Chain A
Amino acid sequence: MKQVFARPRTLLDVPFHYCPGCGHSLIHRLVAEVIDELGVRERAICVPPAGCAVLAYNYLDIDMLEAPHGRGAAVATGIKRVRPDAVVFSYQGDGDLASIGTAESIHAANRSEKITVIYVNNAVYGMTGGQMAPTTMLGQVTTTTPYGRDAALAGYPILICEMLSQLPGATYIERCSVHDAKHILQTKKAIARGFRCQIEGLGYSLIEILSPCPTNWHMDPPAAHRFVKEEMVKTFKLGVFAEPRLGGDAC
């Protein structure tokens, strides 16, 4: 019988700790599939963040170095510069990348470090219990915006792809989503492009992935996925913001 579906080699055979309906487990799997398909498992080094995905090292069977909160891009830079043949990627949430780690994120992009950043945006601080994130949308209720995010008090959701794509060093920037099958496949393609952008030595790549957080959004998984599709994409427009010139690029 022909096997049509299997666990990727890079993904360890353990149950995820993530909440039902959370996007992280899906995204972990996509990353693992891409690493397998590009044949780079033995060259891959992941820098997990502080946040829900800190435990990524329990799931991916590759070398890992945990970064202090927000410093993923700087840690990944240190690794990549001394090991240029490694395939180095940071995996970061919105609080990690777009709030406490803003400086590191902007400057790694600006230097066009040959790293890939998997940036998971769920508009909320998940691990700490649902506080306002830099990406929390206007009017969105969180534990620290109990009356909804008010721009006059808490500013606006920060648009990382739009910001970074202004930099000449940002080689490949794309925003995707994992709210349905079609978008999941598109996200996988984007992750693959990001890794190829690095492998081909073109420069910095960042893939922002809109991801549901049913627990902290106080929704069931289907409702959370609908919320990404119907609400989140209004603030965070999907698309390619900086296009790499990959060799033989069919995407």
Chain B
Amino acid sequence: MESKKVLFSGNQAIGEAALRAGCRAYFGYPITPQNELPEYMAANIQRNGGVFIQAESEIAAINMVIGASAAGVRAMTSSSSPGISLKQEGISFLAAMELPAVIVNMNRGGPGLGNISPAQSDYFQATRGGGHGDYRVIVLAPASVQELMQATMRAFELADKYRTPVMILGDGMLGQFREPVILPHPVGEIPERPYAISGAQGRPARLIKSLILDVQKMEEHNWKLFRKYELISRKIAEAETEFAEDAKLAVVAFGTAARIAKGAVKRARADGMAVGLIRPKTLWPFPSKVFAEVGRTCTNFCVFEMNTGQMVDDVRLSVGAEAQVHFSGRPGGVVPTPVELYRSIAKIYHRIKKEARP
């Protein structure tokens, strides 16, 4: 890493990291709050030997990604909630055809047109595949501009390694605030894609498709994908913990919500409450193992999200039957303050203490 720090907005940082990860094709369509990313790519990808197209729609953009990726080039697109909905058919095709791609979702308030404020309401869509068919998408949840850069580099690496689409889930706050970052080193060798279509020169013709009419073969393909997802689940699930060793109550939050939670947890600690933090850095695969470890000493979890509680199910599935899973959150683009969350934490914490007394 270069040691000099430079100031970057989140969206621009993703663009710079993508170029350093060898991304040479960007296709996108304007939607707030991610516009600084296509703008950055429009200004910079060409002199890095890449292509930029402002597509006619999010649908066209993801299909251009399919074409460029199949042709052997690291390709990406970005959008925000309603636009990500439009891309889902293409993402399903990418998963089916086992093509690498990076998709950025700067989540905004929803459903519908919603608003452009920070929200985490696309958790279900992101972590359950999002489109039709039996598939998953790797979902990375960075919480700072520096992490957005790392996640972008990692996303391209994982996409190639596992031949699968990878999503970076952020929001307007992460995308638009500025933080000093250390720029990551550009990647050296980008792995060859021996399956890429390039013209059948001196080799048999290649075919990349997702139509599998034979049900036995389709089933086989489904199980093959399933085994790949199992492998990914074992290998890359990741979470960060803070003050978790002696916690009686663990707050669970990702992305922007995790930054707020950090403040609230520190405040609670300062007041003598044994409160910790679990911050999933991958949302799919969900870092269940970390919950099992923390769960050995902690049986109370408070999920904190900027939605109505979409991560609660995953936490419940990751903790023991005796564990209590609470929820605190604000949907609709409202960004709660650390004090607000602190109050919720304190209320839950004191209730737990009371119940624990004989």
A residues neighboring B (CB under 8 Å): 41-45, 47, 50, 54, 57, 60-68, 71, 74-83, 85-87, 103-104, 106-107, 111
Contacts and interface: CB of A to CB of B under 8 A. Distances in A.
A212 B199 CA distance: 31
A229 to B, nearest CB: 33
B202 interface: yes
Given A44-B199, A82-B72, A66 B209 contact: yes
A82 B68 contact: yes
Nearest to B69: A78
A231 to B, nearest CB: 33
B274 interface: no
Contact of B71 (A41, A74, A82, A104): A82
Given A57-B209, A68-B90, A45 B63 contact: no
Given A103-B56, A107-B55, 19 more contacts: A44-B200, A64-B208, A64-B209, A65-B197, A66-B97, A66-B209, A66-B210, A66-B211, A68-B63, A68-B66, A78-B67, A78-B71, A82-B25, A82-B51, A82-B67, A83-B71, A85-B199, A104-B56, A104-B59
Interface of B: 24-25, 27, 51, 53, 55-57, 59-61, 63-73, 75, 89-90, 93, 97, 197-202, 205-211
14 contacts: A42-B202, A57-B209, A61-B200, A63-B198, A63-B200, A65-B66, A66-B207, A68-B89, A71-B63, A77-B53, A78-B69, A79-B71, A86-B198, A104-B60
Contacts of A44: 199-200
A104 B208 CA distance: 21
A62 to B, nearest CB: 5
B56 A57 contact: no
Contacts of A63: 197-200, 205-207
Given A103-B60, A104-B60, A107-B60, A78 B27 contact: yes
Given A63-B206, A63-B207, A74-B63, A43 B68 contact: no
Given A63-B197, A74-B55, A103-B56, A79 B211 contact: no
A81 B60 contact: no
A62 B211 contact: no
Contacts of A67: 63, 66
B210 A77 contact: no
A61 to B, nearest CB: 5
Contact of A57 (B25, B201, B207): B207
Given A68-B89, A79-B68, A79-B70, A54 B211 contact: yes
Most A Cβ at <10 Å: residue of B24, B67, B211: B67
Contacts of B200: 41-42, 44, 61-63
Nearest to B55: A74
A107 B56 contact: yes
A60 B121 CA distance: 45
A103 B51 CA distance: 21
A45 B197 contact: yes
A65 B67 contact: yes
A111 B67 CA distance: 17
A22 to B, nearest CB: 19
B129 to A, nearest CB: 16
A77 B75 CA distance: 13
> 10 closest A-B pairs (Cβ-Cβ)?
A78-B67, A74-B63, A78-B64, A66-B209, A107-B56, A42-B201, A63-B197, A71-B63, A78-B68, A79-B67
Contacts of A43: 199, 201
Contacts of B68: 78-79, 81-82
A63 B195 CA distance: 10
B337 to A, nearest CB: 43
A78 B207 contact: no
A65 to B, nearest CB: 5
A75 B66 contact: yes
A61 B200 CA distance: 8
Nearest to A76: B67
A75 B208 contact: no
A200 B40 CA distance: 32
Contacts of A76: 67
Contacts of B27: 78
Interface centre among B63, B73, B197 (most CB of A within 10 A): B63
A74 B67 CA distance: 8
B205 A103 contact: no
Contact of B64 (A42, A75, A85): A75
Nearest to B57: A103
A57 B25 CA distance: 26
Contacts of B210: 66
Contacts of B51: 81-82
Contacts of A78: 25, 27, 63-71, 75
B60 A64 contact: no
A64 B63 contact: no
B205 A62 contact: yes
A8 B282 CA distance: 51
B67 to A, nearest CB: 2
B200 to A, nearest CB: 5
Contacts of B59: 71, 74, 103-104
Contacts of A87: 199
B55 to A, nearest CB: 7
B133 to A, nearest CB: 12
B90 to A, nearest CB: 6
A60 B27 CA distance: 29
Contact of B199 (A42, A50, A75): A42
